[in-house]
Amino acid sequence: MITLALSKGRIFEETLPLLAAAGITVGEDPEKSRKLILPTNQPDVRIVMVRASDVPTYVEHGGADLGVAGRDVLLEHAAGGVGASSGLYQPLDLKIARCRLSVAVREDFDYASAVRQGSRIRVASKYVHLARQHFADKGVHVDLIKLYGSMELAPLTGLADAIVDLVSTGGTLRANHLREVEKIMDVSSRLVVNAAALKLQREPIRRLIEAFASALPQD
Ligand code: ADP
Ligand code: MG
């Protein structure tokens, strides 16, 4: 049995065509079903639905053999460092769920002069490790506030001056009168594989990796 960990939303939807290229179809829609384990048309392949930020943990500890996770989640997981992520092999950038990790502030917040004057900036994020690294590299002093969702709300309520969050079109920021002021990194989702599983089930896992690779847009 091969177990693949996915999360709901963009990652699940954009992984489906890659699975199809490997001859794998999923019978159920996780948005509609309450099932956390989804069988596929292949009796020896199943999908487990987990929270996006839990995918590296599942794969690292063998709860799943493979998974698909954003670069954001993988880097934040590695920086969190509850044990080195040595058991996580990353063979492939799937180039799906593309977005960027950025700093955003309220439209009326003068970020440039706050930075220039060396003010302490209060930053709210789900990505506290990546945010800390970014501002440390710039020599900007920050107080970090950990959030688990709805980051956009933080500057609007006075909880924080800035947020570090994912942006794709910028529509959510605009709808909340926020402005993107710095891109930290480009993000896409990667395939991650449990190193021990790769040794034990080398052939089926290699076939899956190759089918995914051949289904990627060439660029
Ligand atoms: P959560 O479970 O915390 O709500 P999300 O569903 O917001 O997580 O995001 C899951 C993953 O999908 C992120 O880690 C990221 O890699 C990707 N992602 C999130 N937002 C976007 C976006 N706007 N555009 C493209 N990919 C995104
Ligand atoms: Mg979300």
pTM: 0.95
C-beta 10 within 6 A of ligand 1? yes
Tell me which of 8, 10, 147 to substitute to probe ligand 1's pocket, judged by most ligand atoms within 8 Å of the beta carbon: 10
d(CA 85, CA 78): 6
CA distances from 50 to 61, 64, 76, 172, 183 (A): 14, 10, 17, 24, 28
Q: In ligand 1, which atom is closest to the CA atom of 166? A: 20
- Position 101 scores a pLDDT of 98
Beta partners for residue 121, in sequence order:
142
ipTM of the complex: 0.96
The answer to whether 3 and 50 have CB atoms below 8 angstroms apart is no
- Position 83 scores a pLDDT of 57
**Hey, CA dihedral for 77, 79, 80, 86, is it positive or negative?**
positive
Which residues contact residue 39 at a Cβ distance below 8 angstroms, ignoring those fewer than 6 apart? 27, 28, 46
The residue nearest atom 16 of ligand 1, judged by CA position, is 70
Mean pLDDT by 10-residue block, N- to C-terminus, for the chain (219 residues)?
Answer: 97 97 93 94 97 97 97 95 74 97 98 96 98 97 97 98 98 98 98 96 94 87
Q: Find the DSSP H helices in the chain.
A: 10-21, 55-60, 71-80, 111-116, 128-138, 153-157, 171-175, 195-200, 202-215
Tell me what the pLDDT averaged over the chain comes to: 95
- Position 80 scores a pLDDT of 85
